[in-house]
Amino acid sequence: MAGNQASAGDLLHLVRSGRATTRGALQEVTGLSRATVGQRLDRLFRAGWLREGAAGPVNSRLGGRPSIHLEFDDAHAVVLAADLDTRHARAAVLSLSGEVVAEHTGTLTVEDGPEAVLPQLGIWFGELLKATGRAADTVCGIGLAVPGPVDIETGRVVQPPIMPGWDGYDIRGRLARAAAEHAATAPDVPVIVDNDANLMAYGEQRAGHRDCRAFALVKVSTGIGAGVVVDGSIYRGIDGGAGDIGHIRVPEGADALCRCGSYGCLAAVASGRALARRLTEAGVPAASGWDVRGLLAAGHPEAARLARDAGRSVGEVLATVVTLLNPGVLMIAGDLAGTPFLTGVRELLYQRALPRSTARLDVVTSRLGERSALIGAGALVVEELYAPARAERRLAALGV
C-alpha cells in the first residue's frame, strides 16, 4: 500500500483497524502526500463514513499542531440481520459497531420453505425499522444466518439436511425483494448469507477472543455444526462445507437414521432432535432442541442424563477436531450448551485428545448467547461492505 495505490477505501481500512488514525499516520503508512491524503479523506467525510475525534499528541516526526484523531462514524447507517433456527427466528436492527438497536423473536419454521420464511423476515424488518425511527435508506446491508452449509460466493445453501426446499434457492435476491417490499429498503441492498455456526463463531471471536488466532465454536441445537475462525477470518472450506461435524459417523449411531439419509451420523445420536425423540419415547413430549433446552432449564433428570451422554459423543468427535485445528478456544453453544452437556464433552475430550492439543485450550460457553449469530452477521456485513475495494466502489456509486 504505497504511493498513489492507497485508495480512500484503504485509508478507511487503516482507520477502522486502528493502524493509522491521524492524517500524519496515514501519510507515514501509505507514503501519500499530505494533499492526497486530504483529498481521499474528504471523500470519506462527504460520504459520512468518517468523523473527527479528539486531538492527540503532536507527531514527533512531522511536527506541527496536535493531531486530530479520525474515527469510523458508526452512526451513519444500520444493518438488518436475521438468524434462522429450525422452528424459531430472530431479526434485528444493528448499529455498525454491533449494538442491537431493536430485536424481534418469533416462531418461524424453516421447513416451510423460503417463500414462506423470507417474506416474513421482510415484514419483521419493516416493523423493527419503524420502531427505531431509522429511515430505510440508512440500511447499508442485510445479514442472514441459516442452519445449513452455504456457498459464500452465491449465497445459496448446498444440500442442507434440515432445510427442505432451500437447496440452491436464490436467498439473497428473495430476501432483498422482501425487505424492499415490507421495509422500503433499496431493491439492490447487499445481502450476505452464511451458516449459523460460522456467524456465531465470528461474532463470539470478535466480541471476546480477538487475540485467539484459532477459534472453534460448536453449536448443538436441533442439529450439530461448527464454525472456525482462523486469523480473524471464517474458514469455510471449498464450498461452505467446513464445520459440518454433525454428519461424522460415530460407532454408537450405527442404527440411527439421520435427516441427511445416512445412518450413524453424530447428529442422529447427540443433537437436540435426537434427544427430543428419546425423551418422547420415554413419555416426555419434546419436538426439538428448543424443547430439550426447556426441560434442562427445569432440571429434568432424564433430559440431563441424555444431555451428558450426548456431550460425551460430541466430545469424542471434538478430540479429533482439536487435534487437527489446535484451537486456543473451543466454545460450546446452542440449546444443549448447559452443564450436563458440557460435562460430557470435557470427559471425553480430555480423555481422547493428545495432551499437547489441550494444554493451552480453553473450553468455554457462549458470551453473546442467543444474539451471537445476529451480531456475527452484522459484523460480517460491515467487514464486507467497508473492505477497501468494495468501499471504493461504493464511494464511486455515491458520487463522492
Cα torsion at 239, 245, 246, 250 (round to 10°)? Answer: 130
Tell me the whole-structure pTM to 2 decimals. Answer: 0.93
Task: Decide if 80 contacts 143 (C-beta within 8 A).
Answer: yes
Give the bridge partners for 233, in sequence order.
230
* CA atoms of 36 and 10, how far apart (whole Å): 13
Predicted pLDDT at 61: 57
> 374-399: per-residue pLDDT in tens?
999 999 999 999 999 999 999 999 99
Residue listed under C-alpha cell 470427559: 347
Within 10 angstroms of residue 184's Cβ, the number of other Cβ atoms is 16
Predicted pLDDT at 107: 95
- Give 6's DSSP letter: -
| Percent of the chain residues topping a pLDDT of 90 | 88
Q: What is the mean pLDDT of residues 70-87?
A: 96
Predicted pLDDT at 63: 55
Residue 218 predicted with pLDDT over 70: yes
> 339-350: per-residue pLDDT in tens?
999 999 999 999
**Lowest mean pLDDT segment, chosen from 19-23, 190-194, 239-243, 253-257:** 253-257
Mean pLDDT of the chain: 94
Predicted pLDDT at 280: 96
Residue 365 predicted with pLDDT over 80: yes
User: Predicted confidence band at 55 (pLDDT cuts at 50, 70, 90)?
Assistant: confident
Predicted pLDDT at 54: 75
Predicted pLDDT at 65: 60
Residue 3 predicted with pLDDT over 60: no
* CA atoms of 344 and 164, how far apart (whole Å): 32
Q: What is the mean pLDDT of residues 9-27?
A: 96
Name, of 51-65, 184-198, 251-265, the range with top average pLDDT: 184-198
| Percent of the chain residues topping a pLDDT of 70 | 96
User: Predicted confidence band at 111 (pLDDT cuts at 50, 70, 90)?
Assistant: very high
- Type of residue numbered 35: A
User: Predicted confidence band at 59 (pLDDT cuts at 50, 70, 90)?
Assistant: low
Predicted pLDDT at 139: 98
Q: What is the mean pLDDT of residues 232-257?
A: 91
Set out the domains of the chain in order of their start, with CATH numbers.
Answer: 3-72 (1.10.10.10), 78-198+373-398 (3.30.420.40), 207-370 (3.30.420.40)
Residue 1 predicted with pLDDT over 90: no
